[in-house]
Chains A and B, each alone.
Chain A
Amino acid sequence: MSLAAEAFVSQIAAAEPWPEKATLYQPLKEDQILLSDSASSLAVQTFLRMCGLPVQVSCCANAEYMSPSGKVPFIHVGNQVVSELGPIVQFIKAKGHSLSDWLDDVQKAEMKAYMELVNNMLLTAELYIQWCDDYTATEISRPRYSSPYSWPLNHILAYQKQWEVRRKMNAIGWSGKSLEQVYEDVSQCCQALSQRLGTQPYFFNKQPTELDALVFGHLFTILTTQLTNDELAEKVKSYTNLLSFCHRVEQTYFKEHDGESQSGSSRHSKGSLP
């Protein structure tokens, strides 16, 4: 959207209150969704819960194709469709809800920087492990990604996605890395997050911000998703303050619903935190 159109849309968005029937779309939870998409989707859900905005989660096999930017998750609110956490935060800000207005300039800069750190390192590592590690790609990613489709479309789509992700890794210089190095990068990223969190309840002490939502989304998904081995989860578990942070956010925002756990339990994931 051009800047003028965006300004116009956000004005319209600000005028309407949050509707009852806002929907969040993601791929099928049981069979199709992969680690990286699940993490992004959980981050958005957590953010919306932190803002106190109700949303229904709808699982569709073609969510990726419905999304305006090609990435999941995306939300359908009133007349607008917005995808990815960054634009969603902007959109919700236009509606008058914000988690980070009370931060000063330096803190805002740090928050944005740490969000980019998570996107740059954690998300890229997740994509690498899913698609560039041959074993994981063959055992888990390709079968899951193409499960709603019949032969031969499933093979074509799966290989196409794998090829696309591998080219991206090549472009940003990650293709030369070994799996061990990627785990090391994840560990470094977690260490940075752990340092920043320290002993505070949230990253900016008293109140959660979108950074907390993003970090929770990724870390919780890593801890509760079963991959070919547990090394990724082990890397995260070694930082106890991050573990207790995840517990805290889960208790505060996801345990209101008894029975069905909203935070992404499926055969793929192990349910709640260990």
Chain B
Amino acid sequence: MAAPLELFCWKGDYGLPSVDVDCLTVLAYAKFAGAPLKVHKITNPWRSPTGTLPALKTREEGSISQPSKIIIHLRKQKYNADYDLSAKEGADTLAFVSLLEEKLLPALIYTLWIDSKNYVDVTRRWYAENISFPLNFLLPNRMHCQQLEKLRLVRGDPVLEPGEQLEKELYRDAFECMTLLSQRLGSQKFFFGDSPSSLDAYVFAHLAPLLKIKLPNGKLQQHLTSLNNLQQYCTNILALYFPSDAREAPGRKTHAQPDSSDLDNEPHKRRNQVLSVLFAVGAMLGYAILTGIVSIKRERPQLKNSGHDDGDEEDED
């Protein structure tokens, strides 16, 4: 308990402390429970002690990667955000976390990783830009395959393909889940009274990315923004517990404003294209002139003309 525990997690962006749902859960819980964590925000999962993010490095028990296990470990270290909950509220926590994982998480995975427009324009771009060379070529695609595989296994359908049908089913479940959460929250500040608990950490971690990351195909986002109390709930938690990250959001937005779609890539791409075309044309011309396929006839120097004529004659032979 003396030395602070070290947590490795994904870097934050869009006004969030981290872009990954599991990392957000752990970060939020740690803030709620007042656990002193030394947070390393990295973009290379291979640098973490377990190979995946989030990862909590403890002194006694090695490193832990799953959010639920991390929360249990923090509880053992006496950082317990659920201390004040009654037994029934503890049971409700388990139930609502299961609801989140069964109904909302698949839709979240779909919208961030499987939906083609969102994946290419936002998720893959973010990971490719932020992971260092050379992993940025390898990891985003691998993560995409892993998420698709996970979705297939969870749905029990080995030939699942992204498409409108699947999207409708997943989103319908997710809309219902969000509506249920909104009804349960009502007008309270947190799910169980005035102080946040582990359920709040889970709900916040699943809803905040939807709220903050601007996606081209944003049906889930629209539904979430229509539920005012949930939107207020997320912004509240961000403002109270992650004020420094929330302040970074405007900076990111100005970057995003002026046609972010190809701003970084285009100039380099165009320049490279023009240069390579010029190089190719120059090489072809040079080859043509040197071998005599193309002859440059000059008026004045007689010598050069005869030399060229000789070259032509040789070629004809």
Contact = CB atoms under 8 A, between A and B. Distances in A.
A110 B183 CA distance: 10
B103 to A, nearest CB: 7
A171 B150 contact: yes
Contacts of A2: 165, 168
B95 interface: yes
Given A70-B156, A170-B153, 12 more contacts: A2-B165, A2-B168, A108-B183, A112-B99, A116-B95, A117-B98, A119-B102, A164-B158, A172-B150, A172-B153, A172-B154, A189-B94
Given A70-B156, A173-B66, A106 B99 contact: no
B103 A71 contact: no
A105 B165 CA distance: 28
Interface stretch (B84-92, B132-140, B238-246, B249-257): B84-92
B95 A106 contact: no
Interface string A98-117: 00000001101110111011
A186 B156 CA distance: 22
Contacts of A192: 90-91, 94-95
Nearest to B149: A171
B101 interface: yes
Interface in A83-138: 105-106, 108-110, 112-114, 116-117, 119-121
B172 interface: yes
A191 interface: yes
B219 to A, nearest CB: 13
A176 B63 CA distance: 14
Interface of B: 66, 87-88, 90-92, 94-96, 98-99, 101-103, 149-150, 153-154, 156-158, 165, 168, 172, 176, 180-181, 183-184, 186
Contacts of B92: 110, 113, 196
A172 B150 CA distance: 8
A197 to B, nearest CB: 10
A117 B180 contact: no
Contacts of B154: 168, 171-172
Contacts of B168: 2-3
Contact of B96 (A108, A113, A171): A113
Contact of B91 (A109, A172, A176, A195): A195
Contacts of B87: 195
Find the residue from B90, B101, B153, B172 having the highest chain A CB count within 10 A: B153
A193 interface: yes
3 A-B pairs closest in CB distance: A192-B91, A120-B98, A113-B95
Contacts of A178: none
A167 interface: yes
Nearest to A105: B183
Contacts, number: 81
B88 A195 contact: yes
Given A173-B66, A191-B91, A116 B153 contact: no
9 contacts: A113-B98, A113-B184, A117-B99, A120-B101, A167-B153, A168-B156, A171-B153, A172-B154, A192-B90
Interface residues of A, number: 34
A188 interface: yes
A151 B157 CA distance: 27
B281 to A, nearest CB: 53
A181 B126 CA distance: 37
A258 B92 CA distance: 38
B27 to A, nearest CB: 19
A210 to B, nearest CB: 14
B183 A106 contact: yes
Contacts of A198: 88
A116 B98 contact: yes
Contacts of A193: 91
Contacts of B96: 113
Contacts of A117: 94-95, 98-99
B95 to A, nearest CB: 4
A173 B94 CA distance: 17
Contacts of B98: 113, 116-117, 119-121
A192 B99 CA distance: 14
A173 B149 CA distance: 13
Contacts of B165: 2
Nearest to B176: A112
Contact of A109 (B66, B149, B180): B180
A164 to B, nearest CB: 8
Contacts of A113: 92, 95-96, 98-99, 180, 184
Nearest to A196: B91
A268 to B, nearest CB: 24
B20 to A, nearest CB: 15
Contacts of A191: 91
A114 B92 CA distance: 8
Contacts of B101: 116, 120
B156 A71 contact: yes
A55 B168 CA distance: 32
